[in-house]
Structure 1
Amino acid sequence: MPTPDNTAAPLRQAAAEETKPARAKDNASETLAKGLRILDIFGIDDSGFTLSQIAARVHLNKTSVYRYVNTFRELGYLRRDERTGLYHLGVRSLSLAYTIVEKSEMVQLVKPFVLEANRKHGVHVDVGLVKGDAIYLIYRHESKDTSVFRSFSYSSDLYYLATGKAAMAFMEQDELSALLDRLDLAAKTDKTLTDRDSLLKELERAREQGYCVNNEEFVPGLIAIGAPLFSLRTGKAIGGVSFDSTTDQFSMKEFEARFSGYLVELAKKISAVVSL
């Protein structure tokens, strides 16, 4: 099952946080932020990490990482496989994640729209919100033909996903330019847009038509269309919703023609309830 290699996202987000005004930084706990960066990499990929791998991914020394990891173990947020020595998410992290999915007010507001879209059209639906330089999955409903794929798991870079590209297309130009300066446009497939000018042209096209397309840019055989989510308070793009399918079911052109209008309307409805 493909899993996004997105280990740089938490680091880029942390770097972005450094540019915030001094007053905001003074009110934040750097110690807590470092600990959360460690948990962040497990959300992206829970295949397990050694202490050295964790230290390398979050750019902290092993002594500091050991203290954080040992604290998380004692509290039940991480566990260590004594056979392999790898660290994984613990029962308290899993319980917290389950509670968020089942009880979160935002998820409960989004869920009926997603289930209705799946019921009507049988499509895979992802809803994600942008934070820092990544897009975070808040709700998903899979379809039968995409059950072996993952559009993204916990968080992913924006440029190779329909949800992320949809949000990028409607960012202010200065914000988009700064984001692209920070992103490493690495190829996920031979169709991933890694040339900045080509990506900008694609985003401009998406802005004009109100939605973006993703033609096997993250996983071979997986196609998607994405529409932006907006904050009704600020008017800014805050995320995206996508429909995913496979090349066995539709061509990219067929999928776009059949579902893009419905998706754009769905994005408006979801925007009305996420209210960031």
Structure 2
Amino acid sequence: MADIPAHSGLQEPGPLYVASLAKGMILLESFKEGSPFLGITELARITGFEKNLVQRLSNTLHKMGYLEKDEIRRKYYLSPRILKHSFNYLRSRKTFALAMPALIELREELRMAVNMCVLNGPDIIYVIRLWMKYYHEASLFGESLPAYVSAGGRMLLSLLPEQEARGLLAATNLIRLTPHTRTDPDELMEEVRKARAQGYCWQLSEFIENEISISVPVTDADNKSAAIIVTRLLKNAGPESCKNFIDDTLPALLATAASISRLAGT
């Protein structure tokens, strides 16, 4: 039987670790935006599992309703049942439901895109996305982004112990997405410390050229954290434009975060 691939991101197996369950989850995670339809051979290549194991796992997930099958192409694809778990997660955190009216109000006040994200290992996952009209494509919740390149990610990393934050950066492939992307771990940790000290984080042109974003944290009664991110495209990304952006957005952003945290903490 094939071993769990090293790239799976799972912790080392322990006495309570169920390898068969882990392998089923790894197979489900193989279905991504660039590969929505996958056959047995493709799944075996992606997961590193033997074909007979892939066949059994795929058939089981198909019978349970998590995968559907294109009989003509002999390929599997995710079923809508997956969305039930996304919905259950969002409903399990009352912060998200409480945040929506406040975030809509913040978007209308600032006339900028407003998002909320949570940390998931070395990545952030968007749980709320409220775009403005200058974005031509709408994005759905569930989209992920490496934490190191996002103001929201660095803000959430700043809430972790120093060694844990550094460990997540060490587990990340730090690639340069624009000429301005920071990829040095020590430099990134300095940005994380700065966010921790000042209570907010901002970045410019590190993910998209001339895009500036600023983020502040939100916490709930269970001390679980999320981050609000406000984003805008700048025509002139000079120091004065950045200062004006921070001065114009930070007070409203902090007030919104405090209001949501207060409601979620009751």
TM over 0.5: yes
Q: Is the deviation greater in 245-254 or in 161-170? A: 245-254
Q: What is the aligned partner in structure 2 of residue 18 from structure 1?
A: 12
Which residue, out of 238, 257, 261, partners 2:225?
238
Residue in 1 aligned with 2:206?
217
Q: 1:274 to 1:182 in 2, by over 3 A?
A: farther
User: In terms of mean alpha carbon deviation, does 69-78 or 256-265 score higher?
Assistant: 69-78
SS in 1 for 2:149: coil
For the pair shown, the structure with the greater C-alpha radius of gyration is 2
Structure 2 equivalent of residue 5 of structure 1: none
Cα RMSD after superposing both structures: 3.5
2:96 to 96, 107, 131: 107
Asked whether the equivalents of residues 9 and 156 of structure 1 are also in contact (C-alpha less than 8 Å), the reply is no
Q: Which residues of 2 match residues 83-94 of structure 1 at below 5 A? A: 87-94=76-83
1:59-117 deviation digits (Å, cap 9, x = unpaired): 43443233222333333322345666654322322455467668974432221222221
Q: Which residue of 1 aligns with 2:132?
A: 143
| Kept after mapping to 2: 8 A contact 1:130/1:136 | yes
Please list every run of 5 or more consecutive structure 2 residues that lacks an aligned counterpart in the other structure: none
2:167 paired residue number? 178
Residue 255 and residue 178 in structure 1: after superposition, are their counterparts in 2 closer, same or farther (change >3 A)?
A: same
Seen in structure 2, the aligned counterparts of structure 1 residues 173 and 208 have a Cα distance that, compared at 3 Å, is: same
In the aligned structure 2, how far is the partner of 1:133 from the partner of 1:208? 21
* Match in the other structure for 1:50: 38
Mapped pair 1:205 → 2:194: yes
One of 226, 245, 250 as aligned partner of 1:255:
245
Residues 1:141 and 1:194: Cα distance change in structure 2 (over 3 Å): same
Structure 1 segments unaligned to the other structure (5+ residues): 1-7
Supply the AA of the counterpart residue of 2:33.
D
One-letter amino acid of the counterpart of residue 36, structure 2: G
Q: CA deviation at 1:10?
A: 7.9
Task: Give the equivalent residue in structure 1 for 2:254.
Answer: 264
One-letter amino acid matched to 1:254: N
* Pair 228,106 (structure 1): closer, same or farther in 2 beyond 3 Å: closer
Q: Secondary structure of 2:36's match?
A: coil
How many Å separate the matches in 1 of 2:204 and 2:93? 32
Residues 122 and 169, structure 2, Cα contact 8 Å, conserved in 1: no
- 1:38 and 2:15 aligned: no
Deviations 1:130-189 (A, max 9, x none): 233332222221221234375984333211122111111232112122222222212222
Higher helix fraction (1 or 2): 1
Percent of paired sites with the same residue: 26
Q: Which has the higher contact order (CA 8 A, sep 6+)?
A: 1
The residue identity in structure 2 corresponding to 1:256 is I
> Structure 1 pair 215/107, CA: closer, same or farther in 2 (3 Å)?
same
**How far 1:194 sits from its partner (Å)?**
0.9
Count of matched residue positions in the alignment of Structure 1 and Structure 2: 257
Q: TM-score, normalised by structure 1?
A: 0.75
Distance 2:140 2:251 in 1: 21
> Which one-letter code corresponds to 1:244 in the other structure?
T
Residues 113, 60 of structure 1: CA spacing in aligned structure 2 closer, same or farther, 3 A cutoff?
farther
Q: Within 5 A, what are the aligned runs for 1:116-195?
A: 116-148=105-137, 153-195=142-184
- Report SS of the residue matched to 1:50: coil
CA deviations over 1:188-234 (Å, ceiling 9, x no partner)? 22222111122122222222321111212223343211112335545
Q: Deviations over 1:2-55 (max 9, x none)?
A: xxxxxx99822x1xx338xx5xx61x543333322333344x536425344544
CA pair 265-172 structure 1, distance change in 2 beyond 3 A: farther
Tell whether the 8 Å contact from 1:135 to 1:239 is kept in structure 2 after alignment: no
Question: Could you tell me how far apart the structure 1 residues matched to 2:129 and 2:93 are?
Answer: 14
What secondary structure does 1:146 align onto? coil
Give the TM-score normalised by structure 2: 0.78
